[in-house]
Amino acid sequence: MDPDEFRRYGHLFVDWVADYLEGMERYPVCSPVKPGDVRGGLSLEMPEKGDAMETIFRDFQDTIIPGITHWQHPSWFAYFPANNSPPSILAELLTAGLGAQCMVWKTSPAAAELEELVLEWLRDMLGLPVGMSGVIQDTASTATLVALLTARERATAYESNKRGIKIPLLVYTSEEAHSSVEKGVKIAGYGKDNIRYIPTDKDYAMIPSELERAIIKDKEQGSCPACVVATVGTTSSLAMDPLVGIGKICKEHGVWLHVDAAFAGTAAILPEKKWILDGVEYVDSFVFNPHKWMLTNFDCSAYFVSDPASLIRTFEIHPEYLRTGQDAVVKNFRDWGIQLGRRFRALKLWFVLRSYGLEGLQTMVREHIRLAQYFKERVDEHELFELMAPVELSLVCFRLNNGGNESDLNLINEEFLARINQSGKVFLTHTTLKGKYVLRMAIGSRTTGQKQVREAWELIVTAAKEWSGTDYSFP
Amino acid sequence: MDPDEFRRYGHLFVDWVADYLEGMERYPVCSPVKPGDVRGGLSLEMPEKGDAMETIFRDFQDTIIPGITHWQHPSWFAYFPANNSPPSILAELLTAGLGAQCMVWKTSPAAAELEELVLEWLRDMLGLPVGMSGVIQDTASTATLVALLTARERATAYESNKRGIKIPLLVYTSEEAHSSVEKGVKIAGYGKDNIRYIPTDKDYAMIPSELERAIIKDKEQGSCPACVVATVGTTSSLAMDPLVGIGKICKEHGVWLHVDAAFAGTAAILPEKKWILDGVEYVDSFVFNPHKWMLTNFDCSAYFVSDPASLIRTFEIHPEYLRTGQDAVVKNFRDWGIQLGRRFRALKLWFVLRSYGLEGLQTMVREHIRLAQYFKERVDEHELFELMAPVELSLVCFRLNNGGNESDLNLINEEFLARINQSGKVFLTHTTLKGKYVLRMAIGSRTTGQKQVREAWELIVTAAKEWSGTDYSFP
């Protein structure tokens, strides 16, 4: 591809992306293709000679796009959002053009120093302790694994890297914690049998007294409590584990406290939501994802530690071919995580933070929270629907409830969700809360507004009406 | 940022990237900034209100760019390349625009099915066994960790995820293996004490008989050999561990064989270099990086396994909020690795493979190998220089040698390398081979040609001449 062709297609693709972002409502939110459809539409042979970009782009439009589930759609209410933004997309273009691999300071000083700076901005915006140091990880799964590994090392006086785990090391998390905790525990060699799932209260938050009881019991039995993973904003219902109570217990018993605030952490940029991080002064490590609710393209997970020395001691390696003359005076982020190679992810974060400014981000987050409250009120006042968890931020957990038995309700809601999504107009997903099948209305797409939330509600009520045969008017 | 502004800056940035790629030789290859320079040039305050894109882009040009080490520079000879290409950059733009998070099939069917397809293309191009299945990982570090974890599970009859490691599990690799093996062994909980570093021959390749001796000895002592990590193309010198010999031993003793071919794997697309993978039929897992020598933007690491069931069994998780109706009939790549979240990385790979075709890629790889041979011959025929390892592909290991003692030679070469790099005209890095400080001339940037390699050689000879006071003419 010659430079002129690159320019021509570059301009074409920029316009395509602009049109895509503006006109996304023409697409069904969730791709309606069947397994095998996309593959069936593509040439299965790797070409001997290169294909023209015109052909490739046509296949992209004709076959790839119908197979895309549109995460940036204004009617995206599934999982959690992974919202991007124009400044972030532009920065990704520059990052790709530079093609820098930022494993150590020397292999791109600007990447290392910008990463340090933007992580300080994030730390201060969220009100994390000023002593914390940050690094970008790819995902919260990785960040939580990194925390579990550092905790493992600290609990064994930095012997587990060398000798493995010799006595049972225990990890505590709530019944509602994300699956990445279990996955990380397995990877780090703790053994899943050494997770203690602490019961939750009626709001699905960890009960500190239960945590303390478990820690004491394990200590009495000669096991070593190594790590507590608390969640600020669980995936199922955005439940908030109480960090003050948990933090005091961790401090008393010398247990590493990691906080997974992957989605909800962003809300702490609002003065009125700062309380979600009350107790954060007890925390050893903390993760939240700017790629979820802070307009930064996936992947970009912000990980903070109180004691970077323990992190580096866990991960540093010094092969000769990676030594540089600056090693003593700079941050080499390769030693702050699992991968050696690193993308220049700080650039997109910097573009986003500077483009929106604190006020721009606060406006967006407030609006999403307001929309969730609007939706919650609709649920609350409608006799066919039931609210299933507190709504503090931008997720509403609800279900249809016609007074049937629980097992019927689960089946009914599963079928009801399928019906709603089949419309292509919205995409919601589900979870279970204490055995109950629950629909999740997760609001956080950059372009989601009152219109989309109201339309979603209308669609849901209409579907319920069809299902129940009753006429329900829209509030 | 409104749509018009996105278009305007999008076009501007495309042109900037085009100019950057064309005019890169105006920059010093390795950034000359001092620690703190970049930070010192930036506004340290997170803005309350958004900054204009004009300001951000000016800071990018004025402060970020001087702090960038230019990995795509045609005179990049450091580490290994991480070469990108115009089609790959264009695909990254589309990927960023789509902003899809491809954790499971349903969250973007096209991403899952395209990933399956392009990994089949790679498998077949390299001549890997047709039974192997592929998945994109971020880096070879991660892929090797994934292999170590799967091997750990298999060696414990799939008990280690549940109970941790109960008896010593051993990992074997050569003295020349990449540091990611040690890092992965630590993370996976084997304990670094349970790595056996197998001696290498005069060409820095693992000696199979030494491997077998170590395995037998460990078995006799009641330990369990779990995994051998062989390297096709070591980082220091591109040494090739002999897979046939190693593979037979692994098969006989029931040990998982993982192959790290991160850089060199790409060479197997040439019929005349297929031999580097002789013995690959014995392999349980295999990784190589299209982001190194296959024109695909970092990150994109291709990982292949012979038995995907063992991989999935090691990593699968089934939280309720991730269940979909298609789970039984599709590939959910979240269960093929560590992270839950996944970028749409198959798109750039597909753009590259289709744009260049097999012939285009072969032409590039052949040219890089030819240039390395050219450079090797210059070294060979020059009395002041010494070749330090065989040159089978595109890396030349060499040093200045004036006949001094080894310790002096190490210091001399370290200083000599600094002098060469200080010019800003080239960037080479070093390693040690059996205690000797060695310069690495790694050829693989997309735009590197005869001109740059010849100029590098001239620069090296001139520096040597200045250093030695002798007049050496250029061959």
Contact B69 A30 (CB under 8 A): no
Please report the pLDDT score of residue B113 as a whole number: 98
Smallest Cβ distance to A68: which of B98, B117, B440? B98
Please report the pLDDT score of residue A471 as a whole number: 54
Please name the residue of chain A whose CA is at the shortest distance from the CA of residue B5: A86
Contact A298 B343 (CB under 8 A): yes
Smallest Cβ distance to B97: which of A21, A83, A360? A21
What are the structure tokens assigned to A123, written together? 């730390």
The pLDDT of B372-380, averaged and rounded, is: 98
Which residues on B lie below 8 Å from A178 (Cβ)? 319
Q: What is the mean pLDDT of chain B?
A: 96
Q: Count CB-CB contacts under 10 A for residue B278.
A: 14
CATH number belonging to domain B100-344: 3.40.640.10
Please report the pLDDT score of residue A469 as a whole number: 65
Q: Is the pLDDT of residue B319 over 90?
A: no
Q: Is the pLDDT of residue B310 over 60?
A: yes
Please report the pLDDT score of residue A326 as a whole number: 84
Residues forming a β-bridge with B387? B398
- What's the ipTM? 0.97
Per DSSP, B335 falls in state: G
CA distance A89 to chain B (A): 5
Burial class (CB in 10 A: 0-12, 13-18, 19+), B450: exposed
The pLDDT of B95-112, averaged and rounded, is: 96
Query: CA-CA distance, A169 to A156, in Å (whole number)?
Result: 9
Comparing CA positions, the residue from A381, A331, A390 lying closest to residue A120 is: A331
| A138, A171, A327: best to mutate for the B interface, most B CBs within 10 A | A138
Is the omega angle on the peptide bond into residue A203 within 30 degrees of 0, that is, cis?
Answer: no
Please name the residue of chain B whose CA is at the shortest distance from the CA of residue A23: B3
B115 touches chain A (CB under 8 A): no
What does the domain layout of chain B look like in residue ranges?
Answer: 1-30+69-84+357-475, 100-344
CATH number belonging to domain A1-30+69-84+358-475: 3.90.1150.170
A7 touches chain B (CB under 8 A): yes
**Residue B228 · residue B257 · CB < 8 Å:** yes
CA distance B471 to chain A (A): 30
Burial class (CB in 10 A: 0-12, 13-18, 19+), B285: buried
Smallest Cβ distance to A355: which of B20, B56, B87? B56
B338 touches chain A (CB under 8 A): yes
Please name the residue of chain B whose CA is at the shortest distance from the CA of residue A49: B357
Please report the pLDDT score of residue A403 as a whole number: 87
pTM score, whole prediction: 0.97
| B11, B27, B64, B414: best to mutate for the A interface, most A CBs within 10 A | B64
Please report the pLDDT score of residue B403 as a whole number: 87
Please report the pLDDT score of residue B320 as a whole number: 83
Alpha-carbon distances, residue A413 vs A418, A454, A460, A466, A469 (angstroms): 9, 20, 12, 14, 16
Query: CA-CA distance, A173 to A189, in Å (whole number)?
Result: 17
CA distance B473 to chain A (A): 31
Q: Is the pLDDT of residue B471 over 90?
A: no
pLDDT band at B206; cut points 50, 70, 90: very high
Size of interface A-B (CB pairs under 8 A): 468
Please name the residue of chain A whose CA is at the shortest distance from the CA of residue B292: A101
The owner of tokens 């039984």 is B328
B1-30+69-84+357-475: CATH, from 3.40.605.10, 3.90.1150.170, 3.20.20.70, 3.40.50.300: 3.90.1150.170
Percent share of chain B, pLDDT over 90: 93
Contact B38 A351 (CB under 8 A): no
Q: Give the residue ranges of chain A where pLDDT is below 50.
A: 473-475
Query: CA-CA distance, A127 to A105, in Å (whole number)?
Result: 27
Which 3 state secondary structure label does DSSP give A101?
coil
* Helix axis angle, A109-126 to A346-381, nearest 10°: 30
pLDDT band at B474; cut points 50, 70, 90: very low
Please report the pLDDT score of residue B1 as a whole number: 87
Contact B298 A191 (CB under 8 A): no
User: Which A residues in the span 249-288 are in contact with B, Cβ-Cβ below 8 Å?
Assistant: none
Query: CA-CA distance, B121 to B350, in Å (whole number)?
Result: 9
Please report the pLDDT score of residue A319 as a whole number: 82
CA distance A373 to chain B (A): 22
Which residues on A lie below 8 Å from B62 (Cβ)? none
In terms of DSSP bridges, do strands A285-288 and B436-442 run parallel, antiparallel, or are they unpaired?
A: unpaired
Contact B236 A321 (CB under 8 A): yes
| A94, A152, A173: best to mutate for the B interface, most B CBs within 10 A | A94
pLDDT band at B469; cut points 50, 70, 90: low
**Residue A12 · residue A42 · CB < 8 Å:** no
Please report the pLDDT score of residue B321 as a whole number: 81
